[in-house]
Amino acid sequence: STHCISSAASDVYKRQFQLVVVCLLGLKTITGISQNDNSNRSFKDYYPISERPYLTGGFGNNDYEKILLEAKPVVYYSIYNNIREALNRDTIVRGDAIYLSIQPQFRIYDENSKPVKTPSYKAFLGFQSIIQTSNNNFLTAALESGHFSNGQSGSAFSEELDDNTPESTALYEDITDDTDLAAILNRSSGNFSTNLTRLSLNYRINKFNEDNLPETIHSLTLTYQLYHRRFLGAFQFGGYNPEDIDIYGRHQIEAGYEFTSHLKGFRYTLGQEIFLHPDVHPSADVFRSETTAIVYPWDKDLGFFAKFAFGYDDYNYRFVDSFPRFSIGLTWDWFTPFVVKPSNETKL
């Protein structure tokens, strides 16, 4: 019986590993497409506020696990998108996008029996609206709402118990402000689940060249994120447990700045992001910082990046961990600079 259970668990992790491989192959296919010339960009949908996909390896780990590889094969499925068209009109008109975004995140750990554990899954229904200002800068607002979980059914703080059982719920009674949650976290099958909504604002200051292509860009983004019980604010599905939300906290604030420019035929981006979730459990850090440098050697969508992050971890329930990490890898840009007509007059 024990052998059967072990074999079944092994099959689950093998399937998870195969899923990671498929996602990585998908990212490879995307990067191959990115080598096409600029004329093909007319068929691409643009999302000014977006999450970049990546494949990365690096150095820096928590006290309990060693990360070998990490992948985030983010995809956007367009329902409606006229952003590029709107930015190329003779007058200033608003551009809008309605979309579905799937944002899985996988880690391969240096472990023989369970190399892939508690992967993250985010799915959003989103809306973005962009307007070109009279001085040819871009102002964008985005509203996204959806679900965030890791697909597990175990108790967050016991490998022997299922989530939502009386025995699992009783474990929370022993948790105090002084409890080290990282030390007792169920890292193999602990459940993390919540619905969430994100409201973001982005302002891009553009300097155009003689071909009306943005040559340098200063991009500033501010985001407020809220965890809530009802899916899309209306449906009783996928919400958090009452015991868990006191640990997660409900609120997160994000601020980011990116500088993009060109040098000798390639494009580069330097970025800084700050994340704050002020109402988490006292044993978890409230702060996370990410400093990123990206080089796009063909001035297309595919980029090579290096990132240094410190503060709380961004991998579902592992936000109770805190450690510095340096990583390098591949990424993809969802808002590659393209030719924009100078503005003349406003029409909303």
Q: pLDDT tens digits for 160-213? A: 999 989 999 999 999 999 999 999 999 989 999 999 999 999 999 998 888 777
Query: CA quadruple 50, 53, 58, 60: dihedral positive or negative?
Result: positive
Q: Which of 95, 72, 94, 65 is nearest to 83 (CA)?
A: 95
Provide, rounded to the nearest whole percent, the portion of the chain with pLDDT above 70.
Answer: 83
Count Cβ neighbours within 10 Å for each residue of 163-179 and write b for 16 or more, e otherwise. Answer: beeeebeebbeebeeeb
CB within 8 Å of 264: residues ≥ 6 apart: none
DSSP string, 51-106: ---EEEEEE---SS--EEEEEE--EEEEEEE-HHHHTTSSSB--EEEEEEEE--BE
Q: What is the pLDDT of residue 343?
A: 59
Q: Which of 23, 233, 48 is nearest to 137 (CA)?
A: 48
Highest mean pLDDT among 27-31, 39-43, 117-121: 117-121
CA–CA separation, 244 and 195 (whole Å): 13
Q: What is the pLDDT of residue 23?
A: 52
Whole-structure pTM value: 0.83
Question: pLDDT grade, residue 121 (50/70/90)?
Answer: very high
User: Of 35-49, 58-72, 278-292, where does mean pLDDT reach its minimum?
Assistant: 35-49
- What are the tens digits of pLDDT across the range 283-309? 999 999 999 999 999 878 889 999 999
Q: What is the pLDDT of residue 306?
A: 98
Q: What is the pLDDT of residue 64?
A: 92
- What are the tens digits of pLDDT across the range 222-239? 999 999 988 887 777 777
- What are the tens digits of pLDDT across the range 80-112? 999 888 887 777 789 999 999 999 999 999 887
Question: pLDDT grade, residue 21 (50/70/90)?
Answer: very low
Q: What is the pLDDT of residue 291?
A: 98
Compare 348 and 207 and report the one with higher pLDDT.
207
Question: pLDDT grade, residue 25 (50/70/90)?
Answer: very low
Query: CA quadruple 165, 312, 113, 184: dihedral positive or negative?
Result: negative
User: Of 13-27, 113-127, 204-218, where does mean pLDDT reach its minimum?
Assistant: 13-27
CA–CA separation, 292 and 64 (whole Å): 26
Q: What is the pLDDT of residue 116?
A: 79
